[in-house]
Structure 1
């Protein structure tokens, strides 16, 4: 016979009620596939990151990698500010390798101007229908 004051019974009730709604299924806001090409001064950005920052400060930022001048990711719908970041090696310059004391590695620099990342005015509107393409052709003299 069960006793509703029995600690094991109470534990079973807690476990059963907290697991309601668990299982497979979609969680969070719906996401939509977006992709595109990213160039800087006419050349594909070989390796970098692209962020789609929502106007709503409480919403999550969608981010993806740029590889070989292209990116592919899924993003939530709505108006976004776009930030593009990339680094490259500085030819002939070496720095200490923090991960390997006593060793040197090629120095790197962020080469995308702030006007395309921390101070970006690039914007897109991710729609709720199918996949979308957003290409970004950045110029250093913009």
Structure 2
């Protein structure tokens, strides 16, 4: 059930991002550019997870994407961003509905209490490398 709950939370989060950023078409829409990069955890590519770029000043919309095999790519608005990275893994246990139980294993300093930042610019490549450590 927890795996289902995690997927449902991810879908709801993505839907809320669409509501916040809109579907486009407006000439006064904020400029977005492609951001891409890599995420490692203890020196190994993060197999899967999610990454969010939140405006550091709290103004404007957030952008998010998935991480697969240590790589991510999505569109983001310009400016200084707080970066939040999350991932969960199977604990090997099952709940009362025989669903796998997962746990978040990325330390808070990379998500809820993030210290990660990115400066998204209009000119040049916006490539980032985030090297996370468990301790």
Structure 1 runs of 4+ with >2 Å offset: 23-27
How far off is 1:131 after superposition? 3.2
Segments of structure 1 that go 5 or more residues without pairing to the other structure are: 1-22, 97-102
- Supply the RMSD in Å over aligned alpha carbons: 1.7
Q: What is the TM-score with the length of structure 1 in the denominator?
A: 0.73
- In 2, the alpha carbon distance for the partners of 1:28 and 1:47 equals 31
Partner of 2:132: 138
Residue 111 (str. 1) matches residue 112 (str. 2) = no
The more displaced of 119-128 and 39-48 is 39-48
Q: By how many angstroms is 1:47 displaced?
A: 1.4
Structure with max Cα Rg: 1
* Larger helix proportion of the pair: 2
Give the match's secondary structure for 2:87.
strand
Question: How many angstroms does 1:27 deviate by?
Answer: 5.3
TM-score by length of 2: 0.76
Tell me which moved more, 76-85 or 121-130.
121-130
Please report how far the alpha carbon of residue 107 of structure 1 lies from its aligned counterpart in structure 2 after TM superposition: 1.1
Between the two proteins, the alignment pairs up a number of residues equal to 112
Determine the structure 2 residue equivalent to 1:127. Answer: 121
Counterparts of 1:32 and 1:130, CA distance in 2: 10
The 3 A distance-change label for structure 1 pair 124 and 24 is closer
